[in-house]
Amino acid sequence: MAANVALLGEAPFLILQLLLDGLMIGAIFAVAAYGMALVWGVMNVINVVQGEFVMLGGFITYQLTLWGVSPLWGVPVAAIVLYFIGASLHHVVIRRVADRDMFISLLATFGLSILLQQLMNQIWGGDVRTAQSGLGTWFLLDYTVTVSQMKVAACGGAIAIGGVLILFLKRSRLGQAIRATAQNPRAARILGIDTNRVFAATYGINAALCGAAGALVVMAYSVHPYIGLPYTVRSFMIVIVAGLGNLPGVIVAGLGLGAAENFAGFILGVQYQVAFVFILLVVILVIRSSLLQRRRQFLK
Amino acid sequence: MTLRRQPLLMLAVAAAGVALPFVIPDYRAQIAMLWALVIMAQTWDITGGQTGYNSFGNILFFGVGMYASVVVQRDVGLDYFPGLVLGMVVGAGIAAALAVLLGSMILRMRGHYFAIATLGLGIAAGEIAGGWDYLGAGSGLSPPLFPAPPGTANLFFAYLFFGLAALVFVLLAALYRTRFGLALNAIRDNEDKAEAMGLHTGVYKVTAWTMAAFVLGLVGGAMGNMLGFVDPRDTAFAGATFGVWMVLMAILGGKGTLWGPVLGAVIFHITQELLWTHLLGWQRVALGVIIVGIVVFFPQGILGWARTRWPARHEPREQGSERA
Residue A260's contacts (CB-CB under 8 Å, 6 or more residues apart) are A22, A280
Q: CA nearest A223: which of A137, A117, A85?
A: A117
Eight-class DSSP state of B3: T
User: By the 8 A CB rule, do B45 and B260 touch?
Assistant: yes
Question: How many folded domains does chain A comprise?
Answer: 1
Contact B288 A229 (CB under 8 A): no
- Between CA A110 and CA A114, with CA A112 as vertex, the angle to 5 degrees is 70
**Nearest-neighbour CA in chain B from A76: distance (Å):** 28
Contact B296 A112 (CB under 8 A): no
pTM: predicted TM-score of the whole model, two decimal places: 0.86
Q: CA nearest B91: which of B243, B262, B230, B238?
A: B230
Name the residue among B127, B131, B240 with its Cβ closest to that of A114.
B240
The CA distance from A87 to A89, in Å, is: 5
**Of residues A211 and A140, more confidently modeled:** A211
Residue B1 lies in a domain: no
Residue A271: exposure state from Cβ atoms within 10 A (0-12, 13-18, ≥19): middle
Residue B321 lies in a domain: no
Residue B320 lies in a domain: no
The CA distance from B169 to A267, in Å, is: 47
Question: How many folded domains does chain B comprise?
Answer: 1
Name the residue among A111, A119, A279 with its Cβ closest to that of B124.
A279
User: By the 8 A CB rule, do B319 and B181 touch?
Assistant: yes
Name the residue among B105, B121, B292 with its Cβ closest to that of A108.
B292
Contact A115 B291 (CB under 8 A): yes
Tell me the average pLDDT of chain B. 85
The CA distance from B89 to A229, in Å, is: 33
Count of Cβ atoms closer than 10 Å to residue A221 Cβ: 19
Residues in chain A closer than 8 A to B120 (CB atoms): 233, 278-279, 281-282, 285
pLDDT in tens, B90-148: 999 999 999 999 998 888 887 788 888 998 898 888 888 888 888 877 777 888 877 87
User: CB of A88 within 8 Å of any CB in chain B?
Assistant: no
Residue A69 falls in which region: left (phi positive, over 0), alpha (psi -120 to 50) or beta = beta
Contact B284 A121 (CB under 8 A): yes
Tell me the residue type at B280. Answer: L
Contact A289 B108 (CB under 8 A): yes
Question: Which residue in chain B has the smallest CA separation from A279?
Answer: B124
Say which CATH number the domain at A210 has. Answer: 1.10.3470
**Nearest-neighbour CA in chain A from B33: distance (Å):** 22
pLDDT in tens, B288-324: 888 888 888 888 888 888 888 887 666 555 444 444 4
Domain around B97:
6-313
Residue B121 lies in a domain: yes
pLDDT in tens, B2-31: 455 678 888 888 888 787 877 787 788 888
Task: List helix spans (H) across B140-200.
Answer: 150-177, 179-189, 191-196
The CA distance from A56 to A117, in Å, is: 9
Give me the percent of chain A exceeding a pLDDT of 90. Answer: 25
Residue B318 lies in a domain: no
pLDDT at residue B227 is higher than 90:
no
User: By the 8 A CB rule, do B54 and B188 touch?
Assistant: no
Residue B55 CA, chain-centre distance (Å), reads 11
Contact A122 B282 (CB under 8 A): yes
User: By the 8 A CB rule, do B122 and B237 touch?
Assistant: yes
Residues in chain B closer than 8 A to A290 (CB atoms): 108
Question: A interface mutation test: which of B53, B60, B123 has the most A CBs within 10 A?
Answer: B123
**Nearest-neighbour CA in chain B from A205: distance (Å):** 22
User: What are residue A146's DSSP bridge partners?
Assistant: A139
Q: How confident is the model at residue B204 (pLDDT cuts 50, 70, 90)?
A: very high
pLDDT in tens, A186-205: 898 899 888 889 999 999 99
Q: CA nearest A110: which of A97, A129, A122?
A: A97
Name the residue among B113, B128, B288 with its Cβ closest to that of A285.
B113
Residues in chain A closer than 8 A to B111 (CB atoms): 102-103
pLDDT computed for residue B324 by the predictor = 41
Residue B136's contacts (CB-CB under 8 Å, 6 or more residues apart) are B230
Domain around A186:
2-299
